Amino acid sequence: MTTNVWPGRKLKRQHQVLIVLAVFLCSCGSSSNSDGLGVYPKAVGAADEASAIQSLRTVATAQTQLKATKEAYGSFDELTQAGLLDQRFSGASPNVRGYRFTMAVTESDYTINADPETTENQPTTGSRHFYFNSSDNAIHVNTGQSASKNDPVL
């Protein structure tokens, strides 16, 4: 569908939507009675935190499955190679949606930390640090530094 906007020129519907979106975004940024686009990084940070929390749960489930089949917990690479985690988690300390995941593993237990870390591809992130271990099966949170089992439960 096309519409005459200027004499002799036609715009497709997608271009019209982009123009309306651009005008809306400009009005958000220039509004004096709201935060405008300043809320965007906060919203992205909250989404990244939610993603990190869900990722901790996903890794915990993968560890439980690996322990049941191999009788030992595994590293991120072992979990990825077993098909229990996707390739985003490959490597010793993967960065997923603005969070750096680190894991300490023995045959009988494991701990996982998720700490905010911006990268070139992920310029914004959450601000809270998360910790999970196999013994208490709870997510702990710290707002100022890497979390541990001594921090409050989420």
Residues 131-143: pLDDT tens digits? 999 999 899 999 9
- In this structure, are residues 139 and 130 in contact, taking their beta carbons and an 8 Å threshold? yes
- In this structure, are residues 76 and 94 in contact, taking their beta carbons and an 8 Å threshold? yes
Question: What pTM was estimated for this model as a whole?
Answer: 0.71
Q: What is the pLDDT of residue 107?
A: 84
User: What is each CA distance from 141 to 82, 117, 118, 146, in whole angstroms?
Assistant: 29, 16, 19, 8
- In this structure, are residues 49 and 147 in contact, taking their beta carbons and an 8 Å threshold? no
Q: Is the pLDDT of residue 126 over 90?
A: no
- In this structure, are residues 37 and 124 in contact, taking their beta carbons and an 8 Å threshold? no
pLDDT, greater one: 55 or 26: 55
